[in-house]
C-alpha cells in the first residue's frame, strides 16, 4: 500500500512539474508572439497563415486516426458476427 502511495505521489508531482514547465513556456511564447506582432504588424498575416496550415494538418491527422479506428471496429464487428 505504501509503495502505491509513493508511486502515486511521484506521478502527481511529475505531472505538476510538467504543467509548470508547460505554462512557463507558453507564457514566453505568447509574450514573444505579442512582441513580434507589435514590432512587425505584417507578421500577423504570416502567423495566421501558419496557424491555419497547422490546424489543417492536425485535422488530417485526426481524420486518419479515426479512419484507422473505424476500420479496426469494422474488422472486429466482422470477426464477431456469425453470418
- Count Cβ atoms within 10 A of the Cβ of residue 36 and give its class: 0-12 exposed, 13-18 middle, 19 or more buried: middle
pLDDT value at residue 83: 60
Contact between 46 and 53 (Cβ < 8 Å): no
| CA distance linking residue 66 with residue 62, whole number of Å | 6
| CA distance linking residue 68 with residue 74, whole number of Å | 10
| CA distance linking residue 19 with residue 52, whole number of Å | 26
SS3 43: helix
Q: What is the pLDDT of residues 29-76, one digit of tens each?
A: 999 988 988 999 888 898 889 999 999 999 999 999 999 999 988 888
pLDDT, greater one: 2 or 14: 14
Per-domain residue ranges for the chain? Answer: 1-39, 41-83
Amino acid at each position: 500500500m505504501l509503495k502505491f502511495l509513493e508511486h502515486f505521489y511521484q506521478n502527481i508531482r511529475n505531472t505538476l512539474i510538467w504543467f509548470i514547465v508547460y505554462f512557463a513556456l507558453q507564457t514566453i511564447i505568447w509574450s514573444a508572439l505579442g512582441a513580434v506582432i507589435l514590432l512587425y504588424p505584417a507578421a500577423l498575416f504570416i502567423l495566421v497563415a501558419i496557424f491555419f496550415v497547422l490546424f489543417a494538418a492536425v485535422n488530417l491527422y485526426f481524420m486518419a486516426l479515426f479512419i484507422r479506428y473505424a476500420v479496426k471496429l469494422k474488422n472486429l464487428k466482422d470477426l464477431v458476427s456469425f453470418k
